[in-house]
Every structure is written in structure tokens, then in C-alpha cells.
Structure 1
Amino acid sequence: MALENGAWDYLEKPPAYDDVKLTLKRALQFRDNKMVSPTREGFKSDFIIGRSPVLKKCLDLVAKSARTDGNLFISGETGTGKDLIANAVHLNSERSGAPFIAVDCTNLPDTLVENLLFGHAKGAFTGAVDKNEGLIKQADKGTLFLDEIGDLSTAAQKSILRVLQTKTFRPLGMNKELSCDFRLISATNRDLQAMVKQRTFRKDLFYRLVTHHIHLPPLRERPDDIVLLADYYMEKICAQFGIRPKAMSDDFIDTLMVYDWKGNIRELISVLHAAVASGLNEPRLNPHHLPVALRIFSRKKTWEEQRPLERGIENGLGTDETGFPSLKDFRHLNESQYLDALVRLSGGHIEKACSMAGVSRSGLYHLLEKHNKKLNP
């Protein structure tokens, strides 16, 4: 659990002195090497929007993967931007000057998969009046991106596995095999390990895919990026409509922040499209411009979050004698609502507010500025 959450290492109690010394030495060496060679120096990623810690950690892995040539596997929920990450790896790799060939595996029928991937010779079958270069050959010296690889049929998996093992393939109707040098990037929103156990995905292919693994966090785990993404796509959407960029009210943003975004960034873009269309002739977007289902969900969630805040006060949680819950206890709640209650119950006194929330003076001022609030009740 510690390693999965980013720990460098762990020690069993009681730790031996030599073990502690060796672990610290290795950690310091790693830190020194990291400071000498910045992970993302010169890394091109302007098209990836976000500054949240989880995304920055992910981009560090992307930068490291771009400097290698091993097969890369990208996992994540639908709409998290797996195709953008694949593009970023290619653009920052030594293969950036060669083609980037993207293949949607959901559109590879068994009857056409070999023809689409390997191509065919002239006269290979009825209607093959010309030679066709398959997608594999088109990716020569570049990158082959197999998107939604979890949707590949068993037959297609076998064909892909052989190409990865030998880096050769035979177009339909040809007597000789051709070689191809490409870097493979694959992605899926499915659990391939579970599919391997269920024998719906080949184990040998799975281990070929995952030389490097990057897991993209869902949008609900990076709420700080929602405003940045909304600003970025609002400008693009308004340009598509041929209108000036629209302002978004605080209530509009708050509603977006509360929503769970099961469809992630792709769903956010769709919702912003709907909001712009709804408020086409208005300069500012408000919550009533959002889809009704989203507004209902956000209101219900806000109400449910207020209840534990009230129960926390009643049950005496927190660091202050008033029993107000600390920010650490309720970090998962809407910060804006928490600050409103904190300001009101502290009477606007900075020392009392800091004591109640369990944060430093500078930390509280930072939060107040972030949500455009003042300490005065």
C-alpha cells in the first residue's frame, strides 16, 4: 500500500541501522540524479491541460517513457485523454520525425484485420486492383498506436503478438515477409489483467504490451484542473460557434466542480457545448444553462456533503473546542462551503479560524484567496 501511494521504500519494525542507512543513501542518490537531470526539461506538452499533482506525476512518467523505445501501455477511464498522452510520447521521442499511426481497435473486424494491418499485394483477392500498404508498414520508423486494444478479437491478438515478437509480417498475396521497425503504444479503458484471468485476452500479448505502464487519473481525482479545462475548451467552443468567449459565473463553476464526470474530459467538453448552445445570446453562463441531469446530481451531492459537515459539528470532530471539524477531516467536501461555515462560526477571527480548521495562517489565507472569500463574516 505504501509503495502504491508513492513511498520510496518501507522498513519493517524494528529496523536495523544498516537497513535505514542503505535506504536513505539510495533515496538521496535518486534525488541528486533527479536534480541533475530534470524529468521534463524541453518536454512538449502544451496541449495537455492541467496543473494538479496527480497529472504532474503522470507527465513525469510520460517524459521518461518518451526517452525510451519500449512498448508503452496506457490505461484509464474513457475520456481521460489517452490519445493525447500517446501523441505526447511520440512528439517527444526520437521517432517524432516519422509517422504516428493510430488504429481504433474497436473498428477492426476479424474479416478485415489482416488486410488493414498488413496490407495486400496487387491481385491478392477479387477487387485488389492495386497494392495496399497496411497500417503496420505505414508506421515504419515511427509509432503505432493501438487504441482500445482490449477490444481486439482473439484472432487479431494472435496476429499482433507475432508482429511484436518478430517485427516482421506478410501482406496478403505476398510470398515473402517484410520487416518493420516501430514503437508500440497501446491503450484501453478495460481491465486487461482481469481479461487475462478470464482468458479473453492473451497473457503472452499482455506482457509484451506492458514494458512501461502509465495510468491516467480520472477527472474527479483532479478537481483543480476542471476550471483550467473549462476555460480552455470554452474558448475553443465559442470560436466554433463564431462568437466571443463567454464568461462563466461562480455558481456555474461550482456546479462543474461538484459533478462526478464519469465520462471525464470528453463529457466536460460535451456539457460545455450544450451550455454554450443554451446561452448562445447571453454573455455569461449560469447553472441554468447546464443540462438538467447534471444540475440535479450536483445539487443532491452538495446537500449530501452538507449533512456530514453538520454531523461533524454535532459530534465534536475537529481541533477546536467548538467541535468544528478540521479541514483535513473534511477535505473531500466542497471547500467553498466549508470556508463559508468556518468564517461564520469563527466570527471572522483569524486565530480562531486557523485553530478550528487545523491549518496555518498562510494556508487559510491561500484557501480564502483561491475561493475569492474574505475572513470578515
Structure 2
Amino acid sequence: LFLDEVGELPLNIQKAFLRVLQERRFRPLGSHKEITSDFRLVVATNRNLSQMVAEGRFRDDLLFRLRSFVIELPPLRDRIGDIKELAMHHLAGVCERLKIGLKGLAPEFMEALNSYRWPGNVRELMHAMERAVASALYEHTLHVKHLPAEIRISLARDSLSKKGDTAGSNGQPPKCAEIPLKFKDYRKAMDRRYFLDLMVCANGNVRRACELSGLSRSRFYS
């Protein structure tokens, strides 16, 4: 029996589930007869169950029963070497399910996958590949433009942030003569730089720049 997201079980269900683990007996919903079942249990969670126990949101006796053998799996962002293999595996599955030819991955597409932080881990990667295929249904190769908008926005913001961190003359503080001393002029110059960098990331496409930045089209012309 595989139970995913065990950390999401409400406390009252945890109590009932602990009894099932201890006695190997349960009563199906709507039945008046208990059934004996000899099963092996595998559970998964991305929660810190020890912390949840300390906060009173998870039973300590249930946690002790579940900890017979623990496998710690690092988040996907710490396993960049696995991303391509996982992406290709899910891509093949999606294409087979849709009965279409296997699509290729452009180099910049793979670079984007490796650069993204993947807060949703493998499940988010799976959904991203499905949405990319749906966006490129009649194309042979997946490009960055086929990734979900939230991923492209995150990548663009990270890229602009890194450029801002490395701005200046080799990391040295700018000289006063190089900065407009009036805040209004400085803000205007920084806004202009942001929009120039954004248009570079969007390959000159205003619509895509709006998607990446979350700004309206009217803001670009104001």
C-alpha cells in the first residue's frame, strides 16, 4: 500500500490509521464487517513530520510506526543531473498517451529546466512537461516559450536579479558622478534599464514581455 502526502492526514484519521497498522484490520466505508489485510506500507511526504509532532499536528506514535525504514530524497533543485532524464521520461509518456511523435528538446529549453528552482519538485516538472507538449502540439521541438508562464516569469526575474547584482564596474561601488543625484532621474534610468533587459529576455516581443513581467501592455507605453 502506497500512501502519498501522509503529512496531510487529519488527526482523527491518523488515529484510525494507527489502529489499522497495529491490528491489520479495517472496516470498509458502509460495511459492518471488519476485514483483515496483510500489507506492506510505503508512505511519502514533503513535510517535516518531527516538527509537526512538536506542533501537535501529527501523532508521535504514528510517526514511530512509520519510521521503520526512511529514505531521504533531496529536492529536485539539488539533483540537476536527474532533470534531463526525468524530463525525457515524462515527455515520452505524454507523447505516447497523446499518440504523437516524440518531441525534441531545444538547448535553451533544457537550460531553463536546469536553472529553475522547482519548488514543486518532480510533480511540478511532470506538469510542466505536459503543458509544454500541449503548447507545442503541432511543433517538433520544445522551446522556452512552451513552458508555463509562471516558470518563465520566475526565470526572467532571477536573470534580471543576477544582472542587477553584478551591475557596476566589476562589482565596485558606482561613483557619484555616474549616478543621477535626483531620485526621480535615477528611478527613471533604472526603469529604462529594466525594460531594456526585459525586452532582451522576451526577444523583442511585447506580449511575451508582459507575460514574463506580469505588467500590462499599457504600462509599456506609459
- Deviation at 1:262? 1.4
Residue 283 of structure 1 is matched in structure 2 by 140
Asked whether 1:274 is paired with 2:131, we answer yes
Give 1:199's aligned residue: 56
1: CA distance between counterparts of 2:134 and 2:47?
33
Matched, 1:248 2:101: no
SS of residue in 1 equivalent to 2:41: strand
Q: Write the distance in 1 (CA, Å) between the matches of 2:27 and 2:150.
A: 52
Name the SS of the counterpart of 2:74 in structure 1.
coil
Distance 1:189 1:149 in 2: 9
Change (3 A) 1:222 1:242: same
SS at match of 1:188: coil
Q: In structure 1, how many angstroms separate the alpha carbons of the residues matched to 2:12 and 2:102?
A: 49
Q: Within 5 A, what are the aligned runs for 1:305-324?
A: 305=162, 314=171
- Matching residue of 1:11: none
C-alpha change, 1:280 and 1:193, in structure 2 (3 Å) is: same
State the shift of 1:210 in Å: 0.7
Displacement of 1:314 in angstroms is: 4.6
The percent of aligned pairs where both chains have the same amino acid is: 41
- Residue 294 of structure 1: how far off its partner (Å): 1.5
Which of 184, 188, 196 aligns to 2:45? It is: 188
Question: Counterparts of 2:118 and 2:149 in 1: how far apart (Å)?
Answer: 15
Amino acid at match of 1:254: E
Deviation at 1:168, TM superposition (A): 4.8
Cα distance 1:209–1:227, how it changes in 2: closer, same or farther (>3 A)?
A: same
User: 265, 289, 297: which is aligned to 2:154?
Assistant: 297
For the residue of structure 2 that corresponds to 1:194, the secondary structure is: helix
Deviation at 1:179, TM superposition (A): 5.0
Map of 1:141-156 to 2, 5 A cutoff? 144-156=1-13
Paired with 1:292 and 1:179, the residues of 2 have a C-alpha distance of 49
Tell me how many residue pairs correspond in the alignment. Answer: 170
Return closer, same or farther for 1:241/1:198 CA change in 2, 3 Å cut-off: same
- Name the SS of the counterpart of 1:243 in structure 2: coil
TM-score by length of 1: 0.40
Residue 212 in 1 paired to residue 69 in 2?
A: yes
For residues 1-377 of structure 1, the aligned pairs below 5 Å read 144-168=1-25, 173-174=32-33, 179-305=36-162, 314=171
Normalised to the residue count of structure 2, the TM-score between the two structures is: 0.64
Native 8 Å contact 1:258 1:302 kept in 2: no
Distance 1:280 1:231 in 2: 16
- The 8 Å contact of residues 255 and 287 in structure 1, kept in 2 or not, is answered as yes
The AA in structure 1 aligned to 2:135 is S
More strand, by proportion: 1
Report how far residue 178 of structure 1 moved: 6.3
- CA distance in 2: counterparts of 1:226 and 1:263, whole angstroms: 13
More helix by share: 2
The residue identity in structure 1 corresponding to 2:157 is K
Change (3 A) 1:235 1:160: closer
Amino acid at match of 1:213: V
Give the Å deviation of 1:160.
2.5
TM-superposition CA deviations, 1:332-352 (whole Å, max 9, x none): xxxxxxxxxxxxxxxxxxxxx
After superposition, what is the alpha-carbon deviation per residue over 1:266-303, rounded to whole angstroms, capped at 9, x for unaligned? Answer: 21122222222222222222212222322221122234
Deviation at 1:223, TM superposition (A): 0.9
Name stretches of at least 5 consecutive residues in structure 2 with no aligned partner: 173-222
Q: What CA distance in whole angstroms lies between the structure 1 residues aligned with 2:27 and 2:142?
A: 56
Shift of 1:197: 1.2
Deviation at 1:305, TM superposition (A): 3.8
> SS of the counterpart of 1:212?
coil
| In structure 2, C-alpha distance between the alignment counterparts of 1:149 and 1:227, rounded to whole Å | 28
Do the aligned partners of residues 204 and 256 (structure 1) sit closer, same or farther apart at CA in structure 2, a change above 3 Å counting? same
